[in-house]
Structure 1
């Protein structure tokens, strides 16, 4: 609900948390449920604003969702330009226009476009996002699930009675 609300408000989603918590998979599964193609881009220090801009342009024209994995690996110099590119797309979505100017070109806008960034704040060498970029994405904290509690509930729903002990034996 948090991600769809962010899209409704013409913002992006920002799932963040430790590795293995399902940040990217959550975005991909939501897109699949809604019936939209999700394009995942793994970000690194080598990405420049031109290549990211081409990616944004394609997403805006096709109406697909873009999930930029480990977005905070991108260099701070590049992030300032990327923030302007994202702001341009989100402003066009808010204005409900069919075309807009992006990187000095008029391009078509399909209103189903969605932008998501995932971050793993625990890794060294990550860039802190500028405030103007943070404000464009709704943060969603994710954590490693407690498998024992999940197993307890699954066992209980299947009619088992001694679920605490059984769940511990499973994990």
Structure 2
């Protein structure tokens, strides 16, 4: 609450607007203190004072200040807002976004002529995957995951304009989702893609020089060349190119360290010096 108090004091003095995202993730005991801080600011605004006491210090008040909060009620790990906090804010309810419409507009803007049909296929695939695949904490079938695929599809379309549009989207959907699946879900997801894109075969992309570098690194470290593990290195390489941060998840002895180290050594062999720094999260 002290950190939030400092932020609020800064907003009040400079007249800025502040938006607190996922506000109901804050612990209920802290929310009660924050509600008192907000009530103090509101009273100062109602009384139109130039200065007022806040957290033991007298500060200036800029009347242009505004405080907004966003929240997702009903989610796990979220707190129900106390009535004292609710009373300070005017509610604005947002409906679920039309995913198909968003996909269609994004595909059209990237030059896809069959955007309407492809947008339908994308949203149906994500709906079926959400219903039929196993429930994992790292699976995401929402708008954020869809926009990442759309960005990748746009990049592929510009890089290979001669490829059929259905093949471009099929490859983006497969390559952006494939790395995150647990072993049992892989064949199910590939079958869903085959059903939605019948008769289309989309081989994995070969990266000039990189695949050969991966083989050399694995052989030099005396590892048996397993296609599944080599492909996992390529998947990590693709993920690192399209995501800001990456989490490698798996059981002890599952090959996480080998995959990470192989990627680093392969990139170093190709002239891209890559170093790893281990940080203890504890």
* TM-score of the aligned structures, taking structure 1 as reference length: 0.59
CA RMSD of aligned residues (A): 2.0
User: Are 1:144 and 2:96 counterparts?
Assistant: yes
Deviation at 1:60, TM superposition (A): 0.3
Structure (1 or 2) with the larger CA radius of gyration: 2
Q: Determine if the alignment matches structure 1 residue 121 to structure 2 residue 77.
A: no
Shift of 1:170: 5.8
Give the equivalent residue in structure 1 for 2:117: 169
Deviation (angstroms), 1:148: 5.5
Q: Which runs of 4+ in 1 moved over 6 A?
A: 149-152
The two structures have a TM-score, normalised by structure 2, of 0.36
Q: Which structure would you say has the larger RCO, counting Cα contacts within 8 Å and 6 or more residues apart?
A: 1
1: CA distance, partners of 2:43 / 2:96: 35
Task: Point out where structure 1 has 5 or more consecutive residues left out of the alignment.
Answer: 1-48, 155-165
- Distance in 1 (alpha carbons) for counterparts of 2:97 and 2:56: 45
Number of matched pairs: 111
Higher helix content, 1 or 2: 2
Partner residue, 1:55: 7
Match of 2:23 among 71, 94, 102: 71
CA contact (8 A) 1:148 1:167 kept: no
Distance in 2, Cα, partners of 1:148 & 1:67:
28
Aligned to 1:162: none
Cα distance, 1:167–1:147 mapped onto 2, change above 3 Å:
farther
Higher share in strand: 1
Aligned-residue offset at 1:149: 6.5
Tell me what 1:93 maps to. 45
In structure 1, the partner of 2:36 is 84
